[in-house]
Amino acid sequence: MIAYIGIGGNLGDALATVERAVQALRTSLPASQCLRVSSLYRSAPIDAGGPDYVNAVAELCTTLSPEGLLQALQALEQAEGRERPYRNAPRTLDLDVLLYGAQRLDSPALTVPHPRMNERAFVLLPLAELWPQGVSAAALAAVADQRIERL
């Protein structure tokens, strides 16, 4: 199954953390192969709190179930000291399952496609690098006012 993973962080050395996460996706994720990774981007926090984020998107081929993939990603987050004090809190590392093939899933633990991905330039721009036919010009235009820059 082809899955797209959103990668981001804004606490500590976010650039180094995201680079370590990319390396972990390439070498340590069970039953998965990292096919490609987008450019890195710097973006403003959605709620304007905390420092800027470093973001990317990875394309994986995996035999993990969506829930198994989420668990493996959360283990990588924990290894980087991820805490969840409140919704959208600044974080060392955030790994989100954006898409899992064409599957749709809505459970208490996981919603796929990611429910807010079309509202976020930091998801759509790197995703469009990897899967241009999957991101419409209208979707990109809708987030054009969000501050984001390619690193």
Q: Which of 84, 96, 106, 120 is catalytic?
A: 96
Q: Does the predicted model carry a pTM greater than 0.85? A: yes
* Residue 117 C-beta-side C-alpha neighbours within 13 Å: 26
pLDDT value at 83 more than 80: no
Q: Token pair 């390619």 is at which residue?
A: 150
Q: Which of 26, 42, 52, 82 is catalytic?
A: 82
- Give the percent of the chain with pLDDT over 90: 88
Is 84 catalytic? The answer is no
Question: By residue range, what is the domain housing residue 62?
Answer: 2-150
Is 42 catalytic? The answer is no
Residues 47-56 have a mean pLDDT of: 86
Both tokens of residue 77?
Answer: 């987050």
Provide the H-helix boundaries in 4-133.
14-27, 66-79, 121-130
Q: Which of 13, 20, 36, 94 is catalytic?
A: 94
Cis peptide bond prior to 113, omega within 30° of 0: yes
- What CATH number is associated with residue 10? 3.30.70.560
Is 94 catalytic? The answer is yes
pLDDT value of residue 88: 63
Q: For helices 14-27 and 66-79, what crossing angle results, to 10°?
A: 140
Question: 101: left (phi > 0), else alpha (psi -120 to 50), else beta?
Answer: left
- Higher-scoring residue by pLDDT: 143, 82: 143
Alpha carbon distance 108, 143 (integer Å): 27
Is 20 catalytic? The answer is no
Both tokens of residue 16?
Answer: 């180094």
Q: Which of 84, 91, 145, 150 is catalytic?
A: 91
Domains: count for the chain:
1
pLDDT value at 149 more than 70: yes
